[in-house]
């Protein structure tokens, strides 16, 4: 039976492989192994997601986290090459656009192992964004492209990929959020650390920020913090802080004030429990733009561009940029009840993983 290696490394990968694992478990013609690069390694960035999302223990954990981009990518490449030489898979499936995606697709392709890229074809057009480089390189060598939105199909087509290799399947991230929202309805949320915050505030907003372009520069981070403090005067905010952001807030000495509750990185379910009922989500995350669209929660994206335009064209997302006045004005608009709810894009129906597995089963038969 053909064996597929599923690569996961960083937090946003775990939500994407969970539905693929479910679709592969007990499959009649495909076997799989889970390969964890260890790009993210803290318990709250890693293990908690495996537990909550029902992902089995990885078959291999590389422990290749930390360091610069080159160090991290190189460590993953060395470990993954050794693995593929020892026990060669029939195909490698990578998801998203993190360094683990890039590293493992290059290794596989150089060993003539075919590569399937889930979430292929997204383009921000911003070459200062590390993920854009990862997306371009991965797509330039992948064999099967699983696209989440129409813009991705257009980019891949324009870049000369054969139509037969491009599969518009919907989004595994949405499969996951719909599945987990169903699970959450049966979960005792009173046990979550953030239950007290939610009980105290009937109306609140949720913030996440971790992009290097927003949090690595002191002046930019300070401007964003000013906008958040203004919004928090009218609407309490809760901000689960990514380790990169936490380190920079401390380094730059930025105080977000008493109206913004800072908490550590959240596990999936407690975080879903917060944002699904938020008046507004303010974020620079890629995945959250899509998840808020899936559940119709107003989202303001604090970036100058998005590689996920369907969330703006059809969904509940507004690309507000990083100008503080624009951010505050957009938040006030939502508070006036003029937030966008949007519609769920085509095929964002919770069945993307099944479609992906069906294509791969046929291709690898």
Q: Which residues bind ligand UD1 (CB under 6 A)?
A: 10-12, 39-42, 45-46, 65-66, 72, 98-99, 130-131, 210, 242-244
Q: Is 279 helix (H, G, I), strand (E, B) or coil?
A: coil
* Residue 9 or 170 with smaller CB distance to ligand UD1: 9
- Order of strands across the sheet with 31-36? 60-61, 31-36, 3-8, 91-95, 115-118, 144-147, 166-168
Shortest-Cβ-distance residue relative to ligand UD1: 98
**Least distance (Å) between residue 329 CB and ligand UD1:** 26
Min dist. Cβ of residue 63 to ligand UD1 (A):
11
201 is catalytic: no
The nearest distance, CB 172 to ligand UD1, in angstroms, is: 16
Distant-in-sequence, close-in-space partners of 251: CB < 8 Å, separation ≥ 6: 218
- Residues 6+ positions from 143 with CB-CB distance below 8 Å: 91, 114, 115, 116, 165
Q: Which is nearer to ligand UD1, 182 or 212 (CB)?
A: 212
Of the residues 40, 171, 210, 242, only one is catalytic, namely: 210
**CA–CA distance, 330 with 320 (Å, rounded to integer):** 7
In angstroms, rounded to a whole number, what is the distance separating the alpha carbons of residues 66 and 45? 13
Q: Which helix (H) or strand (E) holds 80?
A: helix 69-86
Nearer to ligand UD1, 103 or 318 (CB): 103
Render 88-141 in DSSP notation, one character per residue.
--SEEEEETTSHHHHHHHHHHHHTT--EEEETTT-----TTSHHHHHHHHHHHH
Whole-angstrom distance, CA of residue 18 vs CA of residue 15 = 5
Q: Which is nearer to ligand UD1, 142 or 266 (CB)?
A: 266
In 3-state terms the chain splits into helix, strand, coil percentages (rounded to 5) of: 50, 15, 35
Given the complex with ligand UD1, which of 288 and 357 has the nearer CB atom?
288
| CB 207, min distance to ligand UD1, A | 15
User: Whole-number minimum distance, CB 135 to ligand UD1, in Å?
Assistant: 10
Catalytic residues: 210
């Amino acid at each position: 039976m053909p064996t597929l290696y599923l690569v996961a490394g960083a937090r946003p990968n775990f939500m994407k492989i969970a539905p693929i694992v479910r679709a592969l478990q007990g499959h009649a013609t495909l076997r799989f192994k889970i390969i964890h690069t260890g790009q993210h390694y803290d318990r709250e960035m890693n293990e908690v997601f495996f537990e909550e999302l029902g992902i089995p223990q990885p078959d291999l954990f590389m422990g290749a986290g930390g360091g610069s981009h080159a160090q991290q990518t190189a460590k993953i490449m060395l470990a993954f090459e050794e693995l593929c030489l020892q026990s060669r898979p029939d195909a490698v499936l990578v998801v998203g656009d993190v360094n683990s995606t890039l590293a493992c697709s290059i290794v596989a392709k150089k060993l003539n192992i075919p590569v399937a890229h889930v979430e292929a074809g997204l383009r921000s057009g911003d070459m200062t964004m590390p993920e854009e480089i990862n997306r371009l390189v991965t797509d330039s060598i992948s064999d099967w492209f699983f696209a989440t939105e129409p813009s991705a199909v257009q980019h891949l087509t324009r870049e000369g990929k054969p139509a037969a290799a491009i599969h518009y399947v919907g989004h595994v991230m949405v499969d996951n959020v719909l599945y987990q929202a169903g699970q959450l309805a049966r979960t005792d949320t009173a046990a979550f650390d953030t239950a007290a915050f939610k009980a105290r505030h009937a109306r609140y907003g949720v913030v996440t920020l971790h992009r290097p372009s927003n949090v690595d520069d002191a002046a930019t981070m300070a401007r964003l913090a000013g906008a958040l403090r203004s919004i928090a005067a009218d609407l309490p905010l809760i901000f689960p802080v990514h380790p990169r952001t936490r380190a920079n807030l401390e380094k730059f000495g930025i105080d977000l004030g008493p109206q913004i509750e800072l908490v550590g990185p959240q596990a999936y379910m407690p975080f879903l429990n917060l944002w699904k009922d938020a008046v507004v989500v303010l974020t620079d995350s890629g995945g959250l733009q899509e998840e808020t669209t899936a559940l119709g929660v107003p989202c303001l994206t604090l970036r100058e561009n998005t590689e996920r335009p369907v969330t703006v064209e059809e969904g509940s997302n507004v690309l507000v940029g990083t100008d503080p006045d624009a951010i505050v004005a957009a938040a006030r608009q939502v508070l006036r009840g003029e937030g966008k709810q949007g519609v769920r894009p085509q095929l964002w129906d919770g069945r993307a993983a099944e479609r992906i597995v069906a294509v791969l089963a046929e291709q690898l038969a």
